[in-house]
Amino acid sequence: MEVNLRCPGCGDEADQEVLRESHDLLLKCTACGHVHHAPREAEPEPLRVRAIVSAGTESATGTIELMPSDMVEVGDLFVAEGEGDEAAGVEISSIEAVGGGRVPRARADAIVTLWTRVVEDVVVPVSVHRGRETIPLYQRADGEEVFAVGEVYTFGGKKVRISHIKLRDGPVLRKEGWKTLARRVRRIYGRFEREPTTYRRRT
């Protein structure tokens, strides 16, 4: 894994190889070989937005995890979580914003309740680190589609190699080759793939 930062050794902005991740990052400059420490970037705190999930004639209350700045529209696909390990792919059918009005589109931090219906597909959230910047991407996938650590996929039209996967029931998959289903994913983390490689195209 690499990050793009200014090296304190040579002063150039270059790719820094991550040697170790703990409370900070231990990096090695690919330009001059200088080894140094850098702080880890704090992940933005997600919101858990109230969701009414309808399946046929039955409805239940759950939550959908969103980043505060996410824009949500009627027709968008997400994963709604219920009690225990229950989760389902859902489509947004109505949005109640702060103030009580129904709107076709709103930022996550301005949403009171999402009305949804159960569908087969889900949208997988992806965070790609580029230097000190975190770029959010979203990919529609069948709930049974498999994602594996270390493999390259196309998310939002960009090739990304998965570094680790946060699951909805708590664990983080970090070992290369470990895999899970799209409906179990809370968030995928990775980096942009620069070198030509064989990858699976996701549509």
Has residue 201 been placed in a domain? no
Q: Is the CB of residue 32 less than 8 Å from the CB of residue 11? A: no
What is the CATH number for 94?
2.30.30
Assess whether 86 and 135 both reside in one domain.
no
CA gap 171, 183 in Å, rounded: 14
Q: Has residue 131 got a pLDDT over 80? A: no
How many Cβ atoms sit within 10 Å of the Cβ of residue 34? Answer: 16
- The pTM for the full model equals 0.54
What is the average pLDDT across 157-183? 88
Of the three residues 119, 136, 164, the one that is the final residue of a domain is: 119
Range of the domain at 74: 47-119
pLDDT at site 151: 94
Assess whether 29 and 56 both reside in one domain.
no
Assess whether 15 and 72 both reside in one domain.
no
Number of domains into which the chain is organized? 3
Q: Has residue 102 got a pLDDT over 60? A: yes
Instruction: Give the model confidence (pLDDT) of 76-99 as tens digits.
Output: 888 888 877 677 888 899 999 998
